Amino acid sequence: MKAKYDVTKHTLVPKHSKASDKEVKELLEKYSITAYQLPRILISDPAIEDLNVQEDDIVKITRPSPTAGETVFYRRVVTG
């Protein structure tokens, strides 16, 4: 049996985490949007498979940025 590769350890994969209810509420209020207006990420995406997320949860993605230090993106979890 082949060992499973952990994609979260790769240098090109940014940090993914499940957004808290407070973060989601503040995000949606700040931009006056609904969760369904956020970009989507598949529940089967290897970068989030260990986060224990369900459909319609929000994932916070933190990427390094040469100009801003780090940037934060949000994605809504969907089934494929």
Whether residue 2 is predicted with pLDDT greater than 80 in this model: the reply is no
Give the span between the Cα atoms of 13 and 49, in whole angstroms.
13
| Structure confidence by residue, pLDDT tens digits, 12-67 | 999 999 999 999 999 999 999 999 999 999 999 999 999 999 999 999 999 999 99
Measured CA to CA, the distance from residue 40 to residue 46 in angstroms comes to: 14
